[in-house]
Amino acid sequence: MKKKFAVLTALTLSFSMVLSGCSLGKDDSKEATEYINDENVDASDDASQEISSNIIVADSLEEPDYNDPTAGASVEVAETPQEENPVDDNLVMVFFGDSQMANGRGDGTDIPTLVGQRVPNATVYNLGIGGTTAAFKRTSAGYLDYENWTDNCFLGMTYCLSGQVDRNKVLAESFPDVLNTMNQIDPSQVDYYFIEYGFNDFMMKTPLDINDSEGHPTDLPQEYTFYGSLSYGINVLKKISPQAKIVMMYPFYGIYKDGNGAYLGDSFIVSNGVGTLSDYADKMGNVAEDQGTFIFDGMYHTKCDLYVDTQEQYLQDTVHLTETGRRIMARLIAHIPNGVEGYEPTAYRDGDFIKIAEFNPDETYRMDPATLKEHFSDQYDKYINGDYILAQPQ
């Protein structure tokens, strides 16, 4: 563990849809800045200005039939060799999430492992499980029955890690490798938790929060909502790991097609009847603001050019990231711990924007020193002094 701490003009259609690959122009998208029950979240600044107000409400949604080709391989805790990264202590990072975190785990091309390769002396624990939600499933019963709890949603995974529920009942039968990984985690030694959910909550029509469509509170338990389950789970993590920093990751942008392969819309305009996937991202933004966590944007193309015209390169099936997509996201995510820990200027986090056509997986981002000097003079001074182990002066 690292010893220092930083502290509807809507067009409503009823149809069955299948998610798969397609490419289209940038005309059809929804206003990214929305009022979602309790507050306005401007998730993308300039990016939100491109988005129109047409919403397509889908009667039913089907997730792509995707199987990770590396899933059958063994799972190991990823560590960065210490001799290559001369820092005092290991940096312990734990990742929660769905298939976007789990995919590639068998051959070391999963996002958590790739992030760890870019962070000095990182020890990475990947607890991602495909198909999981943040919220306790509404089809389940007994959200207060901790003795018989079996749901591996984010809230359930935090209960497993904290010992509030029996992790063997939740994971041993179907996810023994994830159980083995969790058994190696000492919460008192964790430096960073990364949390990535949203797509499966969208597919299962998880309520965004306890309010109805008019914004009035209901008697729905928070555990069944996206906002509530994320908030409750983070509270658990803060209790067992008060020293840890928390990074929330928006669900990744994607597109939708109908059963005939025709383009329907993207994450900004296709709704499940509760909201669009971007609404779930916005709600995660509410949680991040309320909880004081970091946020990583994989939705609003503020970090890379993932959008309708590049999605075939980023996404295998309009939903799941390709290996190149995962490598791009990992480089961008790694700027968060690297900046906070002082391994590189914090300016790199906002300065790095990746275009997939120009991406080199072996490349390390470096901001032009003149730009750093002009806009971030204090960081430039540290750069010139050689204080950043990942950004030595050239």
Query: Which one has a higher pLDDT value, 384 or 20?
Result: 384
Query: Which one has a higher pLDDT value, 202 or 3?
Result: 202
Q: Is the pLDDT of residue 195 over 60?
A: yes
What confidence tens digit (pLDDT) does each residue in 198-211 have?
Answer: 999 999 999 999 99
Which pLDDT belongs to residue 114?
Answer: 98
Q: Is the pLDDT of residue 83 over 50?
A: no
Q: Is the pLDDT of residue 25 over 90?
A: no
Which pLDDT belongs to residue 134?
Answer: 98
Which pLDDT belongs to residue 73?
Answer: 45
Q: Domain spans of the chain?
A: 11-367
CB 34 within 8 A of CB 282: yes
**How many Cβ atoms from other residues are within 10 Å of residue 66's Cβ?**
14
Query: Which one has a higher pLDDT value, 2 or 297?
Result: 297
Which pLDDT belongs to residue 54?
Answer: 83
pLDDT band at 212 (very low <50, low <70, confident <90, very high): confident
Query: Which one has a higher pLDDT value, 20 or 349?
Result: 349
Which pLDDT belongs to residue 68?
Answer: 64
Query: Which one has a higher pLDDT value, 144 or 41?
Result: 144
Q: Rounded to two decimals, what is the model's pTM?
A: 0.84
Nearest by Cα to 132 from 253, 16, 226 = 226
Distance CA 92, CA 104 (A): 20
pLDDT band at 39 (very low <50, low <70, confident <90, very high): very low
- Among 7-11, 128-132, 317-321, 361-365, the range scoring the smallest mean pLDDT is 7-11
Q: Is the pLDDT of residue 349 over 90?
A: yes
**Per-position b or e across 14-36, b if 16+ CB within 10 A of its CB:** eeebbbbbbeeeeebbbbbebeb
Q: Is the pLDDT of residue 27 over 60?
A: no
Which pLDDT belongs to residue 77?
Answer: 59
Q: Is the pLDDT of residue 13 over 60?
A: no
- Among 49-63, 179-193, 266-280, the range scoring the smallest mean pLDDT is 49-63
CATH number belonging to domain 11-367 = 3.40.50.1110
Which pLDDT belongs to residue 345?
Answer: 98
Q: Is the pLDDT of residue 337 over 80?
A: yes
- Tokens, residue 211: 């309010």
- Tokens, residue 129: 């499980």
Angstrom distances, CA of residue 164 to CA of 22, 54, 186, 213, 237: 44, 44, 15, 33, 12
- For the chain, give the mean pLDDT: 85
Q: Is the pLDDT of residue 120 over 50?
A: yes
Which pLDDT belongs to residue 64?
Answer: 64
Which pLDDT belongs to residue 67?
Answer: 64
pLDDT band at 374 (very low <50, low <70, confident <90, very high): very high
Cα separation of the two ends of the chain: 31
Q: What is the mean pLDDT of residues 265-280?
A: 96
pLDDT band at 66 (very low <50, low <70, confident <90, very high): low
Strand 255-258 relative to strand 263-266, pairing: antiparallel
Which pLDDT belongs to residue 47?
Answer: 44
Query: Which one has a higher pLDDT value, 31 or 123?
Result: 123
Give the position of tokens 């996810």.
Answer: 175
Angstrom distances, CA of residue 21 to CA of 97, 255, 263, 266: 23, 8, 9, 11
| Share of residues in the chain with pLDDT > 90 (%) | 71
Which pLDDT belongs to residue 215?
Answer: 87
Distance CA 210, CA 367 (A): 44
Angstrom distances, CA of residue 273 to CA of 61, 62, 184, 276, 367: 11, 14, 40, 8, 43
Q: Is the pLDDT of residue 141 over 80?
A: no
Distance CA 278, CA 256 (A): 13
Q: What is the mean pLDDT of residues 265-273?
A: 95
Which pLDDT belongs to residue 55?
Answer: 87
For the chain, give the secondary structure using H, E and C. Answer: CCCCCCCCCCEECCCEEECCCCCCCCCCCECCCEEECCEEECCCHHHHHHCECCCEECCEEECCCCCCCCCCCCCCCEECCHHHCCCCCCEEEEEEECHHHHCCHHHCCCHHHHHHCCCCCEEEEECCCCCCCCCCCCCCCCCCCHHHCCCCCHHHHHHHHHCCCCHHHHHCCCCHHHHHHHHCCCHHHCCEEEEECCHHHHHCCCCCCCECCCCCECCCCHHHCHHHHHHHHHHHHHHHCCCCEEEEECCCCCEEEECCCCEEEECCCEECCCCEHHHHHHHHHHHHHHHCCEEECCCCCCCECCCCCCHHHHECCCCCECHHHHHHHHHHHHHHHHHHCCCCCCHHHHHCCECHHHCCCCCCCCCCHHHHHHHCHHHHHHHHCCCCCCCCCC
| Share of residues in the chain with pLDDT > 70 (%) | 78
